[in-house]
Amino acid sequence: MKLDVCGGCNAKIGAGSLDDILKGMDIFKRPDILIGFEGKEDASVIKITDDVAMVFTVDFFPPMVDDPYVFGQIAAANALSDCYAMGAEPVSCLNIVCFPEEEDKNILKEILRGGADKVKEAGATLSGGHSIHDPRIKYGLCVVGKVNPKNIYRNNTPRVGDRLILTKPLGVSLLASGYSVGEVTEENFKGALESMVNLNKYAFEILKNYDVSAITDVTGFGLLGHLSEMAGESFSATLYSGEINILKGAKEAAEDFLFTAGGQRNRNGYGSNIEFLIDDFAMEEVLFDPQTSGGLLCAVSGEDTDKLLKELKEKNIDASVIGEITSKRKKTIYVR
């Protein structure tokens, strides 16, 4: 009982295409909508009272692994991450299912079981969902979370001098793509699976106790795409490539030219605003690589960085300090 591998966050529509599609849309703005999509945030936020806001997000995609149960876990972990990136506690989840009419229903049962297990681990309640017949399998969640409006994290509010911490290693799409054509070992692919099924809940529970100015989760637009959105028009960032954790075998896959379509879309969408001060094309591919259920990227005050990193590592979270936020320069990101 295996799935047809064809996606994950590698299937995401490119950032440039989305910008063109959404540009100029006439959106009615209710006063209780605190955050919508105009800031490219990880989720929308609705104010309920002065002390309570609801966070709404949705994410789904086709399989990137052939095990239905593991796929369900990964898709759910990925969808839940947007809540953590906004500072919210997940409360309720709805399944989103596209499934071929003629396919074995036991496959669907295993996908949903994997998703339900991750929702339970997050401390949220699976409350229903919606399913349709479709030629290709797709699965994900609509997630509702709650947060105090005073404690909402934004993805584009860093401060000059903040250090950048990433809570998971990079390279999952390079490994998944390479494994699908027999060019990545079983051991290295299992490393990618372990990273993808891991909830960002545990990193968030630590991060929220520190002086963090901005958070985003690293998913389909890759590290460079999501960091570009964090820097925005007001800041730049410097990345130290030698400090970035990479899954075993991922850079080797890039060196063997096992590129992903999503990585090339990210290069086309963000590459003009990035200056590489390294001569390492494989490393560039790792940085553009779309991440499915990737880690949290956070901007943290320099004073808190060492203590935060130490606590993350003590909880077996494979985090690293990968760069810093600077004042605005000619390019958005400089990779050293």
> Is position 195 within any domain?
yes
Category of 153 on φ-ψ map: left (φ > 0), alpha (ψ -120 to 50) or beta: beta
CATH number at residue 23: 3.30.1330.10
Same domain, 200 and 73: no
Same domain, 191 and 142: no
Give the C-alpha separation, 210 to 120, whole Å: 26
129 is in an annotated binding site: yes
- DSSP symbol at 241: G
Same domain, 226 and 314: yes
Grouping H, G, I as helix, E, B as strand and the rest as coil, residue 139 is: strand
Whether 223 and 170 have beta carbons less than 8 Å apart is answered as: yes
- pTM (two decimals): 0.92
Total length of the chain:
336
Total structural domains within the chain: 2
**What domain range includes position 241?**
163-335
> Is position 2 within any domain?
no
131 is in an annotated binding site: yes
CATH number at residue 172: 3.90.650.10
Same domain, 146 and 167: no
Grouping H, G, I as helix, E, B as strand and the rest as coil, residue 199 is: coil
82 is in an annotated binding site: yes
Same domain, 143 and 185: no
Give the C-alpha separation, 319 to 311, whole Å: 10
191 is in an annotated binding site: no
Residue 41 has a pLDDT of 76
The answer to whether 9 is a known catalytic residue is yes
- pLDDT beneath 70, residues of the chain: 1-19, 38-39
Short-list 215, 210, 86, CA closest to 151: 86
Same domain, 194 and 127: no
Same domain, 195 and 227: yes
Same domain, 89 and 182: no
Residue 284 has a pLDDT of 97
For residue 251, give Cα distances in angstroms to 30, 174, 217, 282: 46, 8, 21, 6
Same domain, 238 and 312: yes
143: number of CA atoms within 13 Å, CB side?
Answer: 35
Q: Which of 119, 151, 183 is the last residue of a domain?
A: 151
Same domain, 85 and 202: no
Q: Which of 125, 151, 177 is the last residue of a domain?
A: 151
> For 277-304, how does the pLDDT look when each residue is reduced to its tens digit (9 = 90+)?
999 999 999 999 999 999 999 999 999 9
Cβ neighbours for 301, distance < 8 A, ≥ 6 positions apart: 159, 161, 162, 163, 210, 211, 213
> Is position 190 within any domain?
yes
| Four-point Cα dihedral 130, 132, 138, 139, nearest 10 | 20
> Is position 1 within any domain?
no
306 is in an annotated binding site: no
Residue 29 has a pLDDT of 85
4 is in an annotated binding site: no
Among residues 9, 83, 142, 298, the one annotated as catalytic is: 9
> Is position 206 within any domain?
yes
Same domain, 205 and 289: yes
> Is position 279 within any domain?
yes
Backbone φ and ψ of 317, nearest 5°: -95, 125
Grouping H, G, I as helix, E, B as strand and the rest as coil, residue 278 is: coil
103 is in an annotated binding site: no
Q: Which of 151, 177, 200 is the last residue of a domain?
A: 151
Please state whether beta strands 138-147 and 53-61 pair in parallel, antiparallel, or not at all (unpaired).
antiparallel
16 is in an annotated binding site: no
> Is position 174 within any domain?
yes
Residue 11 has a pLDDT of 59
> Is position 261 within any domain?
yes
Short-list 70, 90, 67, CA closest to 79: 90
Same domain, 204 and 104: no
